[in-house]
Amino acid sequence: MNPKTGAKYLTLMCGATMASLAVASEATERPNVLFIMCDDMGYGDLGCYGQRLIDTPHIDSLARSGILFTQAYAGSPVSAPSRACFMTGQHSGHTAVRGNREYWVDSPKVKYGNCYDYSRVGQEPYDSRHIILPEIMKDNGYTTGMFGKWAGGYEGSESTPDRRGIDEFFGYICQFQAHLYYPNFLNRYSKSLGDTAVVREVMEQNVQHPMYGDDYRLRKQYSADIIHSRAMQWIDRQTPRQPFFGILTYTLPHAELAQPADSLVAKYKRRFFNDRTWGGDEGSRYNPVEHTHAQFAAMISRLDAYVGEIVALLKRKGLYDNTIVIFTSDNGPHEEGGADPEFFGRDGKLRGLKRQCLEGGIRVPFIVSWHGKQRPGR
């Protein structure tokens, strides 16, 4: 595979590559692997891919020290089937998950605080006859963890993280639930906490306030930060004696455009002073938003800060030189929730967006860094 020209179908192939690494050598020599897949990031969203309006210094640094691929393709232009291609190593014509089929639509609702939510959530399960990547890695001696979006089965199905090779999970089983960055609950599987299956962890502060409207802003438990914190805690528990495989499927920068009103948002409000507003879509769980450009840019920079914190932690623990860090997206940029890909040139001047089988819908950023083990390039 020539890094100067990139690699077509790389998202399909990376699973087989990591599986090969798992069996290539003795455990003491095996590299750790962190696979970071963000949500709906366009080919042109990062500085290293030509973005000029959004600051991404940490991911850009990862690209400079590693290999930046210019022809990497997601397995599908939408989330669940794209992730299924990564997990199974199959293209979307063979994997059982071929769309964003939902399993919550007809389920009864349950009450959390002052809110109601579905009693069963999730998407089409991975076929139990198809072995998936975490199972391969676990069978070959790796500790496995996943933090972010699952989208490979519904609650109670045969395909939940605890049943598919994941030692520890925290995040969203259901990608529809991920439309709320201040959700009613997140899903968890942790043996150390006594879990025997995936459970719900209720966001007790959030559920005291409505899911839509002005008072939604009173919710304070921000899922992206919480998920990142759990991922960092998991990485911090790893040691050089035991190889680990982490899948960090962060939901940023998927809609909705929502996050804490911190210095990142303030910076971009100053940068994009004459900004837009968007009226919301309650059925899709996208709340109204002011300063849409500032909110989106801050979400990208927030994700970049997460990557910087991960790399710093790996270095501090002496794990960085033996850890392969991979960064990519599940598909191209979206227009939902007030997003404006044209303003940022998010498709990198490619034709098409998310949901379209055109270059802009499936061509994604892809960066691989293994410090000291590979020559930087593209």
Please report the pLDDT score of residue 4 as a whole number: 35
How far from chain centre, in Å, is Cα 356?
A: 20
* Long-range contacts (CB closer than 8 Å, 24 or more residues apart) made by 4-10: 4/377, 4/378, 5/70, 5/71, 6/69, 6/70, 6/71, 6/72, 6/366, 6/378, 7/69, 7/71, 7/72, 7/366, 8/71, 8/72, 8/73, 9/73, 9/91, 10/69, 10/71, 10/72, 10/73, 10/366
Opening angle at CA 337, ends 224 and 283, nearest 5: 100
Q: What is the pLDDT of the chain when averaged over all its residues?
A: 93
Q: What is the pLDDT of residues 15-62, one digit of tens each?
A: 555 555 555 555 457 999 999 999 999 999 999 999 999 999 999 999
Query: Could you tell me if 338 and 289 are in contact, meaning their C-beta atoms sit under 8 angstroms apart?
Result: yes
The full set of domains in the chain, from first to last, is 10-369 (3.40.720.10)
First to last CA, the chain: 11
Its pTM stands at 0.94
The burial class, CB within 10 Å (0-12 / 13-18 / 19+), for 192 is: exposed
Q: Which residues pair with 281 in a beta bridge?
A: 286
Amino acid sitting at position 230: R
Q: Which residue is listed with tokens 């998936």?
A: 132
Give residue-wise pLDDT tens across range 293-328. 999 999 999 999 999 999 999 999 999 999 999 999
Phi and psi dihedrals of 13, rounded to 5? Answer: -85, -25
pLDDT computed for residue 309 by the predictor: 98
| Burial of 119 per CB tally in 10 Å (0-12, 13-18, 19+) | exposed
100-109, 175-184, 203-212: segment of lowest average pLDDT: 100-109
Rounded to 5 degrees, what are φ and ψ at 364?
-130, 160
The stretch 186-207 carries a mean pLDDT of 96
Q: What is the pLDDT of residue 21?
A: 57
Amino acid of residue 112: Y
Confidence of residue 348 (pLDDT cuts 50, 70, 90): confident
- Ordered alpha helix ranges (H), 107-242: 133-139, 223-236
- % of the chain with per-residue pLDDT over 70: 93
User: Does residue 374 have a pLDDT over 90?
Assistant: no
Task: Tell me the one-letter amino acid at 222.
Answer: Y
Query: pLDDT tens across 110-123, in order?
Result: 999 999 999 999 99
pLDDT grade, residue 7 (50/70/90)? Answer: very low
